[in-house]
Amino acid sequence: MKKIALIFVMTLMGLTSFAQTETTVKFGYLSYDSVMQAMPEYAEMQTAMEQLRTQYEAEQKRVAEDFNAKYEEFLDGQKNFPRTILQKRQSELQEMLDKNIAFKKEGRRLLCKAEAEAKAPIQQKLADAVASVAQERGFAFVLNTDANAAPWINPAMGEDITEAVKAALK
């Protein structure tokens, strides 16, 4: 037990003396979202995504209107339909409803995928710019301050590189 305590104390003393002789670690920080939103490519991507979203919404609206028209037609004639026609129409309506739900789900999935694919080159360009600025200024790391990820940063130890990265992207 004494040996373990002695090893622990010696290790602690070594770490303390190492920490005192080590230079201060420099780091940068930025608002990743504000830099990305300032990029012209981001605005273009947003416009393209909005157009795609509008197309999907228009198709969903058209499909919903078709379903509603068929449903109203079914309600109007259900008292006069023989049982087999009534069942056939009910199954048609159920099939339409299932297809509409599947289309909405698939549309959301495809929109998310399209957005991820459109953002990938923008994020890569931003990551390259951040890395370039960080290496140029000799930072050990760069923090993203978005979403309150770093509630407090000592400005004497770190540097806000938001504007430098924006400039590097131009």
What's the pLDDT tens digit per position in 111-169? Answer: 999 999 999 999 999 999 999 999 999 999 999 999 988 888 888 889 999 999 999 99
Residue 155: what pLDDT? 84
**How far apart are alpha carbons 170 and 162 in whole angstroms?**
13
Read off the pLDDT band of 64 (50, 70, 90). very high
Tell me, what's the pLDDT at 148? 86
pLDDT at 10: 53
Q: Which CATH code is given to the segment(s) 21-169?
A: 3.30.910.20
pTM for the model: 0.72
Token pair 């670690």: residue: 25
Place of tokens 């990029």: 39
- Whether 158 and 143 have beta carbons less than 8 Å apart is answered as yes
> Does pLDDT of 7 surpass 80?
no
